[in-house]
Amino acid sequence: MAAELRRPKVAVCGSGGLGRYITEAIIRAGEWDLVILSRHAQPELAERGIRVKVVDYTSHESLHNVLARQRVHTVISVIPDPDVQLVLIDACVSAGVLRFVPAEFEGSPSQRPLYSSSGRDRMTVLRRLDELRENNILVSTTFSCGLFMEYFVPGGWLGCGGGGWNDGTFLIDLKHKKAVLPIDSETGASAIVCLTSAIDVAQFVCGALSLEEWPPEMKMFGERMRLRDLLTIAETVRDREFKVKYLNEDDIEYNLSRAIASGDWKSQCELQTMRSINYEEYDIGSRDLNAIFPHIRTIPFEVFLRRYWRPSTH
């Protein structure tokens, strides 16, 4: 009997939030062997037969040993910490990993003025990957999808089991029926954002694993709309008019400087994202992966919201 061909192996770094959705998509597809790299044991995953390897994300040796022994072909990171990602990237290079996906989902990487509490920021990660790509050492791509629709579920990303700053109150607070929106002109909340459910993002990422060529960036989105239309949909779903506050560019910069001075990390992230929205970072533009994988039918924003919210009774 001929020996069974070994399937290529993908390592997902991070098991919560988006990592969980990507893991489930890879398992359903059944085309790749999967290993989860985690800081802690994950008995609930192990019980399902999913291979989990405990690693120290601050240690090049720890990461190198696991990646080399597992013969990992592709690494997908959902850990946005730049210091962790830089150690992980160097471990991928030394272990012979061929492809890398950084935790750079959402906005297009051409403009990324995001705050980092360390001396390194997310642009440092992208510059390192560009250098490795140009020297044919490590192939990488970023997946741009706009805002995750999960920002607007009860509890936001935190309610979905993910980490980070989003608690369901950013831009549109459906629970309390209020909104804080950036404005970039006198015409109101006219900035354009793209939105995609994390479940759909995971399907596109899983599909892209089979592509022979990886460009530096791959784009997708479920819907594209102006912020005022985002508000209208939320008001329609909740059947109530929201109390709305608008922040112009000066408001954003003033509040951001105060948030940085006070160490208010959540407000920093929210205001930086608002500024990025006004800089058109979240207007993805093209839908490359939607065209490549037309069978992936993305969920519309209003349909998504109605899964989680009912009309308000007060």
Identify the residue whose tokens are 């990602």. Answer: 85
Spell out the domains of the chain, with CATH numbers in brackets: 9-140 (3.40.50.720), 147-196+223-284+298-306 (3.90.25)
Helix (H, G, I), strand (E, B) or coil at 276: helix
**In the chain, which stretches have pLDDT less than 50?**
1-4, 114-119
pLDDT confidence of residue 314: 75
pLDDT confidence of residue 197: 97
Q: What DSSP string describes 3-38?
A: PPPPPPEEEEE--STHHHHHHHHHHHH-SSEEEEEE
pLDDT confidence of residue 3: 38
- Is residue 199 a contact partner of residue 220, using CB atoms and an 8 Å limit? no
Helix (H, G, I), strand (E, B) or coil at 100: strand
pLDDT confidence of residue 16: 81
Closest CA to 272 of 170, 142, 144, 154: 170
pLDDT confidence of residue 187: 62
pLDDT confidence of residue 5: 57
Task: For 61-88, write each residue's pLDDT tens digit.
Answer: 999 999 999 999 999 999 989 999 999 9
In 40-57, which positions are buried (b, 16+ CB within 10 angstroms) versus exposed (e)? eebeebeeeebebbebeb
Give the pairing type, strands 217-219 and 223-226. unpaired
Task: For 260-283, write each residue's pLDDT tens digit.
Answer: 999 999 999 999 999 999 888 999
Q: How far is CA 164 from CA 56, 76, 109, 170, in A?
A: 20, 18, 19, 12
- Distance CA(18)–CA(136), nearest Å, equals 28
pLDDT confidence of residue 120: 55
Please state the φ and ψ torsions of residue 304, each to the nearest 5 degrees. -60, -50
